[in-house]
Amino acid sequence: MSFANESLWLAIGFLGQALFSARFVAQWLVSERARQSIIPTAFWYFSLAGGGVLLFYAIYRADPVFIVGQAAGLFIYLRNLFFIRRSRRGTAA
């Protein structure tokens, strides 16, 4: 495996981790503004993006524990986004 290839995958892994971590920053900022604990929709989008990138990285690393953990998380993030969308459609109707 070449150094450039390994460096690219390392950058992908760090990108996924940065996206995944951004969800906590988004949640913290929204909660601070509201002065109560709130989970904004952006939290779930960052979770989905970071989890997806980390899943690709885990597949590249061939780490079955990491793969199962990230794949399960993606289902949860998508499900929460589904509930948010359904709730908004019901409110708009």
The domain tally of the chain equals: 1
What per-residue confidence (pLDDT) applies to 93?
Answer: 63
Residue 35: left if φ>0, alpha if ψ -120 to 50, beta else—which one? left
Pair 51, 73: CB distance under 8 Å = yes
DSSP 25-92: HHHHHHHHHHTS----HHHHHHHHHHHHHHHHHHHHHT-HHHHHHHHHHHHHHHHHHHHHHHHHHHHH
Q: Three-state DSSP class for 93?
A: coil
CA 89 to chain centre: 24
* Binned average pLDDT, 10 residues per bin, the chain of 93 residues: 87 92 92 93 95 95 94 94 92 73
What per-residue confidence (pLDDT) applies to 92?
Answer: 74
The DSSP secondary-structure symbol of 9 reads H
Q: Let me know how long the chain is.
A: 93
Which residue range(s) make up the domain with 72? 3-92
> pTM for the whole thing?
0.83
